[in-house]
Amino acid sequence: MTPSLPIIEVAIPLYLDRTFHYLVPESLQGSAETGHRALVPFGNRKLTGYILGPVATSDVATLKPIISILDSEPLWTPRELEFYRWVASYYQHPLGEVLRTALPAGINIQTRKGTGGETETLAGGKTALREKYYLPLAGATTSRQPGAKALAVLAVIQEQGDISAPELRSRFGACIPQLKRLTELGLVRELEREVYRDPFKKQLVNRDTPRPLHGHQKQALDSIAATLDRQEFAPYLLYGVTGSGKTEVYLQAISHARAAGMNALVLVPEIALTPQLTGRFQARFGGGIAILHSGLSDGERYDEWRRIRRGLAHIVIGARSAIFAPLDSIGIIIVDEEHESSFKQSDGLRYNARDLALVRGRLEHAAVVLGSATPAVTTLYAARQERLQLLELPERVQGRPMPLVQLVEMKKGGDAISPPLAAALAATLEEHRQSIVFLNRRGYATFLVCSDCGKPLTCPNCSVTLTYHRQRGESLCHYCDYAVPAPGTCPSCNGTTLSELGIGTEKLEQQLKELQPTARLLRMDSDTTSGKGSHGRLLSKMNDGSADILIGTQMIAKGHDFPEVTLVGVVNAEASLGMPDFRAAERTYQLLSQVIGRAGRGTIPGRVILQAVDTEQYAIKAAAHHDAEGFYRQELEFRQEAGYPPFSHLAAYAISGLSEQGVTAQAEATARLLMQLKGELKVRVEILGPAPAPIYRLRNRFRRQILLKAPSRNDLHRLLSLWRSRAKVDANVRIAVDIDPVDLM
């Protein structure tokens, strides 16, 4: 009898609810470790699998052997795997897909069709970069003398200890002959070394030192530091008004963790990952920082990931996917602006990084700090229920007052800029201070309407109106990028008189130019920041005082610290209220509070003009009066009456497809099956729908949704799991289950 081969459990990145067993052939024993990827036979394909670990026996009769091992180092630790298993179970997503999502894009295996139609799998994706380095050789003596330039090169190499070829080139220009000569003479040695692509691009930052904390900051820090010393899980809500010094608390808490040899993970909304924020961390900590965000190339992302995995970075700052950073010994996880909806991934694995921070923090015995000036209603409620420890910073640093807010009542369809706002802009300009004018709508007009038939121009692929962009000369769909020349003609009646309705940032810029011809204007929205680095360039123009008025969408509402901004104008405070979403009031309150918080962050007090049609609306009024207490009280009452979170748990089925009939039939079948299973399980779950999604057509797909509401999370999950095991889905229809949905559009 031959001794039986070891068996391993492998997850495969496909939409399959199970894992698979494989044999490890003798030649691969010792390298088929947990956390490595393996190339495995699967049907008649070869796929990448993730090794989860050894298993003692398998009830599968004929196991196949794996083909090869793709990594020399494990990609995740057992503790990380425990986290991924939790994620897979909670979000009802296959483990292999979870692992694929968690790994950096650059690492993934690429498959291509071979000549005979067979699928060939290539290990790789991105590869490590290598660069030439030069080192001085000690004690080398020679009678022959190198030339003057070679001697200068040698001096630099000796002074630096080692130096890369590109750096030598940038100092001396072409110097290959000199280097060759120095090498021949045995004075220097050349070697090739793996280098990491540097997302900071060698940006230099002046070091700073911790500031003495004010009373509330100190209390907050002491509490977090005590947790760090005990190395145990403790979740916090750091609830501090804009400009109260939350970031300073984060920095000092991280210092405390670092001093004890622990690492830190910092999650921020994508939009806040500016050089300004990363600069503050660099200034405080110098090196050892890794950053992860969508602006990185696959190569940069892969390099940052490996630096973290190898323990070369101790502080990781990133957008939502950084929750999967391969960081060991995590002492503290910070989620800044925790209320931001961008922490939620909206397709594939629909995770919420804010929620996962608490889960990972528990597994890592870490302190988890959720920070916000305007916490999510659910987060604040959890703090009041003492599921999170509440740390408050109720005042701005150095006693700076909150800005003075004036509510200006507007008439529907009137001018975009009210006389008080125009006067305030003129006065601010005269004082040589800066202003921000906020309008959460890009483009020129909101849309074009045909004067002959009265129909607005809509997208042929999506059920939304097209936005008129004058500079581009196009009407554009903001969902699918469909564009037609504009103004153009009416597609319904061929009418040629199209009139503009509503206003976007582009038109606002033009109106402000007419109003203040001498003002230097800057516009910041996704149209003006699409180029690499353009975001940073616009911000630095604001910082160095070469702009007077910054016009922008929500992109300017967050995280920026412009000390010279003393005036903030909000053109249309209710822009975000019209959404058919139970969180519309919450989002409006948060956005307005953030925008208001941009004013008066320096030594000069700020002032804000909020224009609104309905100045009595509670979210607008509360934001204007800095009345957080009032807002949360009213909002919680509404949530309780309507049975929305935090008084229930939600899940949504998004059903979509190209055939309207197919989608309708599948949606109805799904709801029927859910009703039936609910009866079998006797669980308390409310099943709403199927209803057409608010955007019924998107990129040509018809969309319906079913919303589930349950007082108990356990009931909800039992129903979802049973549905998953029983459902039969039409192959032409896609059903996505979204746990704790954020976007219901």
By the criterion CB under 6 A, which residues form the site for ligand ADP?
Answer: 211-214, 217, 240, 242-248, 397-398, 561
Cα–Cα distances in angstroms (integers) from residue 264 to residues 216, 369, 668, 733, in the given order? 22, 11, 47, 42
Nearest to 87 by CA among 727, 744, 739, 741: 739
Longest dimension (CA), the chain: 95
Q: Pick what 240 binds: ligand ADP, Zn ion, none; C-beta below 5 to 8 Å, kind-dependent.
A: ligand ADP
Residues in 179-238 at the binding interface with Zn ion, rule: CB under 5 A: none
Q: Pick what 480 binds: ligand ADP, Zn ion, none; C-beta below 5 to 8 Å, kind-dependent.
A: Zn ion
Establish how many alpha carbons lie within 13 A of residue 24's alpha carbon, considering only the half-sphere containing its beta carbon: 23
Cβ-contact 506, 442 below 8 angstroms: yes
- H-run or E-run covering 229: helix 215-230
CA distance 569 to 647: 36
Residue 246 or 306 having the CB closest to ligand ADP: 246
CB of 241 to ligand ADP, least distance (A): 7
Which residues lie below 8 Å from residue 103, measured CB to CB, with a gap of 6+?
A: 75, 305, 324
CA distance 281 to 247: 10
CB of 460 to Zn ion, least distance (A): 7
Q: Pick what 340 binds: ligand ADP, Zn ion, none; C-beta below 5 to 8 Å, kind-dependent.
A: none
Residue 379 or 528 having the CB closest to ligand ADP: 379
CB of 465 to Zn ion, least distance (A): 10
Bridge partners for 570 per DSSP? 438, 610
Q: Pick what 459 binds: ligand ADP, Zn ion, none; C-beta below 5 to 8 Å, kind-dependent.
A: Zn ion
Burial (0-12, 13-18, 19+ Cβ within 10 Å), 192: exposed
Q: Pick what 613 binds: ligand ADP, Zn ion, none; C-beta below 5 to 8 Å, kind-dependent.
A: none
CB of 397 to ligand ADP, least distance (A): 4
Residue 218 or 625 having the CB closest to ligand ADP: 218
Residue 456 or 602 having the CB closest to ligand ADP: 602
Nearest to 529 by CA among 540, 519, 518: 540
Cβ-contact 253, 228 below 8 angstroms: yes
**Residue 744 token pair:** 């219901």
In our burial notation (b when 16+ CB lie closer than 10 A, e otherwise), range 703-712 reads bbbbbbbbee
Residue 563 or 580 having the CB closest to ligand ADP: 563
Strands (E), 29-171: 37-42, 45-55, 68-69, 110-113, 119-122, 129-136, 163-164
3-state secondary structure of 582: coil
Q: Pick what 461 binds: ligand ADP, Zn ion, none; C-beta below 5 to 8 Å, kind-dependent.
A: Zn ion
Residue 103 or 568 having the CB closest to ligand ADP: 568
Q: Pick what 245 binds: ligand ADP, Zn ion, none; C-beta below 5 to 8 Å, kind-dependent.
A: ligand ADP
CB of 732 to Zn ion, least distance (A): 21
Q: Does 462 bind Zn ion (CB under 5 A)?
A: yes
CB of 48 to ligand ADP, least distance (A): 42
Residue 197 or 699 having the CB closest to Zn ion: 699
CB of 697 to Zn ion, least distance (A): 8
CA distance 657 to 664: 9
Q: Pick what 375 binds: Zn ion, ligand ADP, none; C-beta below 5 to 8 Å, kind-dependent.
A: none
Q: Does 359 bind Zn ion (CB under 5 A)?
A: no
**Residue 123 token pair:** 């290990």
CB of 391 to ligand ADP, least distance (A): 12
Number of amino acids touching Zn ion (CB under 5 A) = 7
> x/- contact string, 463-502, with Zn ion (CB under 5 A)?
--------------x-xx-x--------------------
Q: Pick what 197 binds: Zn ion, ligand ADP, none; C-beta below 5 to 8 Å, kind-dependent.
A: none
Q: How far is Cα of residue 379 from the mean position of the Cα atoms in its chain?
A: 19
Q: Pick what 211 binds: Zn ion, ligand ADP, none; C-beta below 5 to 8 Å, kind-dependent.
A: ligand ADP
Q: Does 696 bind Zn ion (CB under 5 A)?
A: no
End-to-end CA distance of the chain: give it in Å, rounded.
Answer: 63
Residue 267 or 477 having the CB closest to Zn ion: 477
CB of 52 to Zn ion, least distance (A): 42
Bridge partners for 217 per DSSP? none
Q: Pick what 477 binds: Zn ion, ligand ADP, none; C-beta below 5 to 8 Å, kind-dependent.
A: Zn ion
CB of 211 to ligand ADP, least distance (A): 4
Cα–Cα distances in angstroms (integers) from residue 657 to residues 691, 700, 702, 741, in the given order? 15, 8, 6, 20
Residues at the contact surface with Zn ion, assessed by CB under 5 A: 459, 461-462, 477, 479-480, 482
